[in-house]
Amino acid sequence: MSTVTETGAAGGGYAPPALAQSLWWPGLWAAATWLTAAGITLGLPDIIPWGSRDIFAGLLVAGAAIFVLLAFGIDRLGRSRDAVAYYGPWMIALGVWFALWELVTAKLGWLPKPFFSPPHGLLHVYIVDWERIAICIAYTARLWTLGFFSGIAVGFVIGVGLGWSRGFSYWGMPLLKLIGPVPASAWIPATFFLFPSTFQASIFLVALASGIPVAILTASGVNQVNRAYYDVARTLGADSRFLVLRVAIPAALPNVFVGLFMGLYYSFAVLVVAEMLGAKYGLGWYLQFQTAYSAYANVYAMLIIMALLCSGLVKLLFVVRDRVLAWQKGVVQW
pLDDT, tens digit, 9 for 90 and up, residues 170-210: 999 899 888 888 888 888 888 878 888 888 889 999 999 99
pLDDT of residue 10: 41
Q: Are both 200 and 229 inside the same structural domain?
A: yes
Within this chain, do residues 117 and 147 fall inside the same structural domain, yes or no? no
- Does 185 lie in the same domain as 121? no
266, part of any domain: yes
The pLDDT of 323-334, averaged and rounded, is 66
Averaged pLDDT, 159-164:
92
Confirm whether 254 is domain-assigned: yes
229 with 275, same domain?
Answer: yes
Q: For position 185, what pLDDT does the model report?
A: 81
Same domain, 162 and 288: yes
pLDDT (mean) for 253-276: 90
118 and 26 belong to one structural domain: yes
Structurally, how many domains does the chain consist of? 2
53-59, long-range: CB within 8 Å, 24+ apart, which pairs? 53/106, 53/120, 55/120, 55/123, 55/127, 56/119, 56/120, 56/123, 57/120, 59/123
From 93, 128, 163, give the residue that closes a domain: 128
Tell me, yes or no, whether 99 and 138 share the same domain: no
Residues above pLDDT 90, as percent of the chain? 53
Tell me, yes or no, whether 35 and 101 share the same domain.
yes
User: What's the mean pLDDT in 215-243?
Assistant: 86
pLDDT, averaged across the chain: 87
Sign of the Cα torsion 172, 178, 184, 185 reads: negative
Q: Last residue of some domain: 128, 150, 168? A: 128
Q: Is 105 contained in some domain?
A: yes
Model pLDDT, residue 331: 52
The last residue of one of the domains, among 128, 147, 170, is 128
Amino acid at 296: Y
Lowest mean per-residue pLDDT among 7-16, 55-64, 67-76, 225-234: 7-16
99 shares a domain with 148: no
pLDDT average, residue stretch 103-115: 90
| pLDDT at 2 > cutoff 70 | no
On whether residue 4 sits in a domain, the answer given is no
Q: Does 28 reside within a domain? A: yes
Could you tell me the residue range of the domain that residue 152 belongs to? 130-324
Do 195 and 110 belong to one domain?
A: no
pLDDT greater than 90 at residue 83: no
Look at residue 329 in the predicted model and tell me its pLDDT.
65
211 part of a folded domain: yes
Assess whether pLDDT exceeds 70 at residue 46: yes
Q: Where are the alpha helices (DSSP H) in 165-197?
A: 166-179, 188-194
Do 286 and 179 lie in one domain? The reply is yes
Q: Does 100 share its domain with 137?
A: no
